[in-house]
Structure 1
Amino acid sequence: MTATLPTAPARPAAGPRHARARVRPVLRLRNSPPDVLLCGALLCAVLCVQGWNITGYPNLSDDEGTYLAQAWAVQQGRGLAHYTYWYDHPPLGWLQLAAVTWLPSVVSPELFTVAPMRWAMLAVSAAGAVLCYALGRRLGLPHWVAGLATLLYGLSPLSVVLQRQIFLDNIAVVWMLLAFCLAASPRRHLWHHFAAGLAAAVSVLSKETMLIVLPALLVTLWQHSHRATRKFAVTGAVTACVLTGLAYPLFALLHHELFPGPDHVSLADGIKYQLTRAGSGFVLSPGTGARRVLGSWLYYDRVLPLAGLAAASVLLVTARRPGTTGRRLLGPALAVAALTAMVLRPSGYLPAMYVIQLLPFLALCLAGLAAAVPARILHTPPGFRRRWYAARWTAVLLLAGGALGWTVPRWYDGDRAAVTRELNGPYRQAVSWLGDRGKVADPGRARVLADDAVWLDLVHRGYSPGTGAIWFYKADLDPAIRARLPHGWRDVDYVVASPTVRRDAVDLPVVEGALEHSRPVAVFGGGADRIEIRRVARGSAR
């Protein structure tokens, strides 16, 4: 007789109410028509809201002008910055900005200024929205949940205000989302994992604070790599990231600017400044700069920061159980935790654009939990009475209605301000006044202190870059500019006294002296946001 092994009894098929469909992660969006249609529709909605009135709201920022002026310097072959590059940030961010804005600058060079060039940021926003959707799908979220995350990310008033601005954080976030998408690739190809490390390095070299997110990316890579090749995948990703990141100190070494020395800037000094700069105080202490920054975030949107942080906390608690949403979204939840920990430092520096790095991960966590809670409520264990099914659906609908009722009015007010209010008229009027030959007879010889928000405008209107149009910080902080102003403020003709100039002049003797010894000849706007053009009383002493 032939021996036969006993077969295991067949598992009974689960009934329709007990079956839990497993979401298959998407490999490529273009191969999935439902994903393409949904993602395309959401992308159109996001770009319409973010692009409407993009040049008028919010106020032009000095940081925007700085990054764009540095991109302009790269395009013009003037070096890595329009003044002495002192390793304040890795230059890869504005090198990419120079590439993104190259075609518009060729078509119309006079429009290469902050307000018109905000249109180029829509390409960055589009890439971020698509990658957010793709990451949600690759982490195992259903179509509608990934779409919800994309809407939360793209239509939050915080996103509408900050993503349309020319910030390095927006570029860095796109690269980090790409790194997460590659790390979570269902194909588990080794080159995907190597590319994830490369994309992560580009993100860090675009804005160095993205370094905080790397441990969360490593966890995602560990989760999604195959056990047989996990060591190769992790080693390759880390190696690609480290070797690419070393290009920055290597650049400084080749220029003999890695360490401090006489008569030159150094990477070591730049890092020391970033680590020892004056802090913003504790974010929860009243009256501190960090508290004001937090207040500005919550002024625009309370829903995504607070609800997203709560969702990330819940996901971290539930991440120990395999197969749960918390386990699938462990990487984004850890990214939220790491970035939030930096916000909660007792005396760290907190810039207003820092929240940009949190937004996509907050959106993914909030959308994931918003889908997990109804699924948990509607799940019917064996033997549960059917008559309670309608009651549970009622509870789900009430929760959804309450969330929408609390969110939509607040987002409507914030987004409506972004698409209707005009805040940058005073800047345009001030630049027009300075470009009028009837007001300033010879712009090529005049010396004007201004913030970087209008620096490029002045250059396009005939002011000499660096010697005629002077970024006001450099009049005190750059030895090359101080040498051209031997008499200090007496060598200045005009000051464009924007809110930024008036606020920071207290620490800049040349700028403060120019303000004290000048009188306004034109004022545009009113209140604290006014723009004054002030003529220095002894501006012809040189």
Structure 2
Amino acid sequence: MTASITHTTGIPVRGTTTATGVRLWFQVHARSLAWLLPVVAIAAVVQAWNMGGIPQRIDDEGTYTAQAWAITHLGELTHYTYWYDHPPLGWIQIAGYTSLTGAFARYPFAVEAAREAMVFFAAVSAVLVFVLARRLGTARPTAAIAVLVFGLSPLALQYHRTVYIDNVATPWLLAAFVLVLSRRQQLAGFVGAAACLGVAVLSKETYLLALPFLVWMAFRRADPSTRRYTLSVAGAVLAVIGGGYILLAAVKGELLPSAGKVSLLEGVTYQLGSREASGSLFTGGSLANEAASQWWALDPVFIVLGSAAAIVGVFLRRVRPIAAMLVFLLAMMFRPNGYLPVPYVIMLVPFAALLVAYVGERAVLALSGITAFRARTRFRGVSRRALGGAWALVTVAALVAAVPLWGSQLRGFLVTDLDKPMAQAENWIGDNVDKRSRMLVDDAMWVDLVNDGFARNNVVWYYKLDTDGAVEKQSPNGWKDSDYVVTTDSMRTGGNSSSDVRQAIANSTSVATFGTGNQAVDVRQIHPQGETTAKQEITKATDQRKTLGTQLAQNPALEADSGTKSQFRAGQVDSRAMIALGQVLADRSVRVDRFTPMTGETGQAFRRVVLHASSTQAASRTEQTLEAMSSAFRPTSVERDGDTLTIVFPTTDPTSTAVSAS
């Protein structure tokens, strides 16, 4: 809608209109947008590029993805019993994003869809970092630098890509600080800030730690004449939002502990008191030390500069509440008996980035003598310039160190595929494991395997094997009721607390392994009869294959080099493949290539045979012979190319095919 401009005589001038509200807003904020949009675009593109390749999917993000998927596909709050370990609003928002955008349908692995949601939340956070910096009085270039630090630090990128509900809570916390600094409509700003903090806390409960500092900021900003009223209303809004979560538990009859039911009180007690402590940051091997070591390996420059900026910021009035909050959050990490979650750093990153940029700008202004207030004494002026110069030198040194570090780290984020072993393992399971099998898995695989046709109750998140009553009822014999266990780094470290998981791994043998080191994913078949009996059966089966292979290697119709014949004699070839070859050799001569393992099956009996017939017609007759074999010996696939046949046999129980137990 447009309005005509009135001439000074009071007569409207035809054809002349003012800008619309939207156009006027863009005109007013054009310079800010010119700085904001490019840096947000850069941060979003870097995060989205190769987001499925690095980092490797982990159990925690699989859990939040599966919970979001359960809402949209199962109509349930979680894929297992919800036990109030975290408020559900975080994965509800992920579910909302994936539902609105159809993200789950666009990716081969469900976690990638949730990682796309993380890109969205990180982009929103980047915008809010810029706005918050501007409201704290920084120049536009400084606010843009804060966004770049927030978006491009390898430390930030690692955790912004990972599906953590902390990433969902972060934009809400930033919005709370932005709103509390609102220049107009203070009551609405305070109420909005309280609502945003409430959503942040119901997305990740640890964000409640920001409450005292948000109140401090609000108290400073509030008009003294209405301070009591505005703060009271904002407090009431926050209480109502938090009370809604408590009311949900009460309505479900799960507020207080009772027999056979979960409860909110037990969930809170677990998080605050009974959860295993992470130990001291200074104790090698402790959970806290390992978490901090991960952070340090990613970006020591940002950690040092951000921590220093927090300390300096405490002495700068405008950012003092935010700096004090960051110092407080850093101090919380040093509790000797507390729990330090790995994603804890996500809450610190945006405020550290903001303070690094803000303190850097103050240093430049102090050096140039351009400050809002002149120093009262010459000594203070000299001190201000000296401190500014010192910080400028620190910043320059940090840049010199950060450029090569960030360059190599960012290159890795953009081109490395650490998730390949996980993808290969899932594909192998889909191609080779009977869909009726029961598996203990990392939660990062749960949605994918259920989508692939495995029964929901047969894909068991390892953590739930002995902690969820419903799963325990399905597994009266514990680990013995499962057929496979798929180990990842998350399971090898986090599964140590479960006796059932340890027993499942100990009494299993590897049938396929993908990747190495921490990225290794091992598909293992469980032997309910126990490890000792399984090894005896494996040894017996290997001896039988050696006998069969020795006889086959002596067959004059077999054309093979000495290395291939030694593979037969060593019992390294699948017994069904040797029996099938024996049938073929009874009618005609064939040449067999040296055996090579299929992807992931190094150390297993060779089940792929490449043979060459004397002619195309002979190859066709050989193919007919193989297809006519009984189901016990029939291959899963036979591909013919002229006189060459590539034959693949199905996987079977490793007690009859494995070369050795591992």
Q: Give TM class, smaller chain.
A: 0.7 to 0.9
Cα distance in 2 for partners of 1:279, 1:29 equals 51
Encode CA deviations 1:447-497: one digit per residue, 9 max, x unaligned: 1110101111101110111x1111011111111111111222221111111
Please say if 1:150 is aligned against 2:147: yes
Aligned to 1:440: 433
Aligned-partner residue type, residue 278 of structure 2: S
- Contact 1:55/1:116 (<8 A) preserved: no
Aligned residues: 496
- Residue in 2 that maps onto 1:371: 361
Q: Determine helix, strand or coil for the equivalent of 1:473.
A: helix
* Whole-angstrom distance in 1 between the partners of 2:158 and 2:206: 20
Going from structure 1 to structure 2, the CA distance change for 1:170 and 1:107 (only over 3 Å counts) comes to closer
Alpha-carbon offset, residue 189 of structure 1: 2.9
Secondary structure of residue in 1 paired with 2:265: helix
Distance verdict in 2 for CA 1:54–1:35, change over 3 Å = same
Q: Residues 284 and 31 of structure 1: is their aligned pair in 2 closer, same or farther, counting only changes over 3 Å? A: farther
Paired letter, 1:243: V
Residues 375-432 of structure 1, C-alpha deviation per residue, up to 9 Å, x if partnerless? 1122177999xxx9xx999999866643421221222122222112110011111111
1:213 matched to which residue of 2?
Answer: 210
Find out whether 1:280 has 2:278 as its counterpart. yes
Deviations 1:26-61 (A, max 9, x none): x98883111111000111111121111110001111
Q: How does 1:92-111 map to 2 (within 5 A)?
A: 92-105=89-102, 108=105, 111=108
Alignment of 1:39-50 (within 5 A): 39-50=36-47
Aligned-partner Cα distance in 2 for 1:236–1:416: 49
Counterpart amino acid of 1:454? M
Match of 1:527 among 507, 513, 517: 517
What SS does structure 2 have at the residue aligned with 1:186?
Answer: coil
| CA offset digits 1:123-149 (Å, max 9, x no partner) | 111100000000010111111211111
Q: Which residue of 2 aligns with 1:134?
A: 131
Partner of 1:341: 331
In the alignment, structure 1 segments of 5+ residues that lack a partner are 1-26, 319-325
Across the aligned residues of Structure 1 and Structure 2, the Cα RMSD in angstroms comes to 2.5
Distance (whole Å) between structure 2 residues aligned to residue 65 and residue 171 of structure 1: 15
In structure 1, the residue matched to 2:348 is: 358
Residue number among 192, 196, 209 corresponding to 1:195 in the alignment? 192
Of 304, 308, 332, which residue of structure 1 is paired with 2:322?
Answer: 332
Between stretches 251-260 and 486-495, larger displacement belongs to: 486-495
Q: Is the 8 A contact 2:180 2:218 kept in 1?
A: yes
Partner of 2:175: 178
User: 2:422: which partner in 1?
Assistant: 427
Q: Which residue of structure 2 aligns with residue 484 of structure 1? A: 474
SS in 2 for 1:495: strand
Residue of structure 2 in register with 1:293 after alignment: 291
Matches of 2:465 and 2:104, distance apart in 1: 33
Letter aligned with residue 67 of structure 1:
Y
- CA 463–412 in structure 1, closer or farther in 2 if over 3 Å, else same: same
Contact 1:135 1:177 in 2 (8 A): yes
Deviation at 1:328, TM superposition (A): 1.1
Distance in 1, Cα, partners of 2:123 & 2:233: 29
Question: Structure 1, residues 195-238: CA drift from partner, whole Å, max 9, x if none?
Answer: 11000010001000001011111112122222332222211221
Distance across 1 between alignment mates of 2:104 and 2:61: 21
| Contact kept? 1:29, 1:134, Cα under 8 Å | no
Write the letter of the residue equivalent to 2:450: V
- Paired letter, 1:479: G
**Distance change (3 Å), C-alpha of 1:346 and 1:537:** closer
Residues 1:502 and 2:492 aligned together: yes
Per the alignment, residue 557 of structure 2 pairs with none
Q: What is aligned with 1:54?
A: 51
Structure 2 vs 1, CA of residues 30 and 236 (structure 1 numbering), >3 Å: closer, same or farther?
Answer: farther
Which of 404, 407, 427 is 1:409 aligned to?
404
Q: Quote the Cα distance in structure 2 between the aligned partners of 1:175 and 1:187.
A: 20
* Identity level (%): 37
| Preserved CA contact (<8 Å) 1:111 1:117 | no
Task: State the 1:110 CA deviation.
Answer: 6.8
Give the Cα–Cα distance (whole angstroms) in 1 for the partners of residues 140 and 367 of structure 2: 20
Match of 2:66 among 69, 72, 89: 69
- Once the 2 structures are TM-superposed, how far is the Cα of residue 186 of structure 1 from its aligned partner? 1.2
Contact 2:128 2:178 in 1 (8 A): yes
Q: Secondary structure at the match of 1:96?
A: helix
- Per the alignment, residue 11 of structure 1 pairs with none
The 8 Å contact of residues 441 and 460 in structure 2, kept in 1 or not, is answered as yes
* SS at structure 2 position matched to 1:227: coil
Indicate how the Cα distance of structure 1 residues 327 and 397 shifts in structure 2: closer, same or farther if over 3 A, else same: closer
Structure 2 distance, partners of 1:240, 1:505, is 41
Residue of structure 2 equivalent to 1:80: 77
Deviations 1:332-379 (A, max 9, x none): 212202211221212111111100000111111111111111211221
SS in 2 for 1:141: coil
Letter in 2 for 1:457: D
CA distance in 2, matches of 1:373, 1:527: 45
For 1:158-177, what aligned pairs fall within 5 Å after superposition? 158-177=155-174
Structure-2-length-normalised TM-score: 0.71
Query: What secondary structure does 1:226 align onto?
Result: coil
Distance in 1 of aligned mates of 2:394 and 2:89: 45
Which position in structure 2 is the counterpart of 1:517?
507
| Bigger shift: residues 454-463 or 111-120 | 111-120
Larger mean CA deviation between 455-464 and 401-410 belongs to 401-410
Give the AA of the match of 1:294.
Answer: A
Query: Does the 8 A contact of 1:213 with 1:338 survive in 2?
Result: no
- Give the 5 Å matches for 1:246-257: 246-257=243-254
Report the Cα offset of residue 105 of structure 1: 3.8
Select the structure of larger CA radius of gyration: 2
TM-superposed CA distance for 1:536, in Å, is 1.5
Correspondence for 2:464: 474
Partner Cα distance (2:72, 2:235) in 1: 32
Report deviation, 1:255: 0.8
Contact 2:84 2:264 in 1 (8 A): yes
* Whole-Å separation in 2 of the counterparts to 1:336 and 1:398: 23
Partner residue, 1:453: 444
Are the structure 2 counterparts of residues 524 and 36 from structure 1 closer, same or farther at C-alpha, using a change threshold of 3 Å?
Answer: same
